[in-house]
Copies of this chain bind each other. A is one copy, B any other.
């Protein structure tokens, strides 16, 4: 199954969200991560203006298309695979996975099945009863003393992991590096110049040059950068020759 398949059957399900701003933020995050569908359960009174303010124009259409439900069971009825989220851990909650593990498992499933990412209310999260609907429960790693992640930020991390796991590796910007011949030509020229201006110890000219070589090797010099450096060397020679004439 190709990892790059764009169309996946993933829906964000927000159970009893309290704040319209959060729902708007969720819409914006979803859109940025290529997810278009949101369902809201148990709150039909979310202020649309506040939602759209946080969604920005980018995700206004997602807010317009939110589907509202009264009960969690009817909302989830049509889904084949339900991923729950929790910040609490405990034996009663069973095994939890990291967002990255979740993202690695989903693609095989979401090509042929409807997947719900289920989030609980801002203050309490999903109850044990609600987590029972879930095939998989995800916990976001966080600093243990202060674990209190905002709904839209938690959702962003999950959607980001899903997006990244499907995306082609980021296109690398790899301009042509300088060849060894280009580099050696530059070092020869530099050595000659530094000798001429009495910077190098004539007994051991290679000592300082070695440090310069190391420094420049670390940066992975580009072909065009070698040309610039050699131009500077030439110009110094020219200036040194001509300044007193």
A147 at the interface (CB under 8 A from B): yes
Asked if A173 and B142 sit within 8 Å, CB to CB, the answer is no
Asked if B28 and A148 sit within 8 Å, CB to CB, the answer is yes
| Complex Cα–Cα for A32 and B87 (A) | 12
Which of A139, A142, A147 lies at the interface centre, i.e. has the most chain B CB atoms within 10 A of its CB? A142
A236 at the interface (CB under 8 A from B): no
A98 at the interface (CB under 8 A from B): yes
Q: How far is the CB of A57 from chain B (nearest CB, A)?
A: 9
A235 at the interface (CB under 8 A from B): no
Q: Residues of B contacting A153 with CB < 8 Å?
A: 25, 28-29, 152-153, 156
Asked if A148 and B29 sit within 8 Å, CB to CB, the answer is no
Q: Residues of B contacting A173 with CB < 8 Å?
A: 91, 94-96
Asked if B157 and A141 sit within 8 Å, CB to CB, the answer is no
| Complex Cα–Cα for A143 and B167 (A) | 9
Q: Which of A18-59 contact B (CB under 8 A)?
A: 25, 28-29, 31-34, 56, 58-59
Q: Residue A146 contacts which of B58, B142, B143, B152 (CB distance < 8 angstroms)?
A: B58
Asked if A170 and B98 sit within 8 Å, CB to CB, the answer is yes
Asked if B25 and A150 sit within 8 Å, CB to CB, the answer is yes
| Complex Cα–Cα for A163 and B140 (A) | 11
Which of A32, A58, A98 lies at the interface centre, i.e. has the most chain B CB atoms within 10 A of its CB? A32
| Complex Cα–Cα for A98 and B100 (A) | 15
Instruction: Check A31/B141 contact, CB under 8 A, given A152-B153, A156-B153.
Output: no
Q: Residue A141 contacts which of B29, B139, B142, B164 (CB distance < 8 angstroms)?
A: B164
Q: Which of A94-152 contact B (CB under 8 A)?
A: 94-98, 100, 139-143, 146-150, 152
| Chain A contacts to B: CB under 8 angstroms | 25, 28-29, 31-34, 56, 58-59, 91, 94-98, 100, 139-143, 146-150, 152-153, 156-157, 160, 163-164, 167, 170, 172-174
Smallest CB-CB A-B distances: 8 pairs:
A34-B143, A95-B173, A32-B142, A58-B148, A153-B156, A31-B146, A98-B170, A58-B146
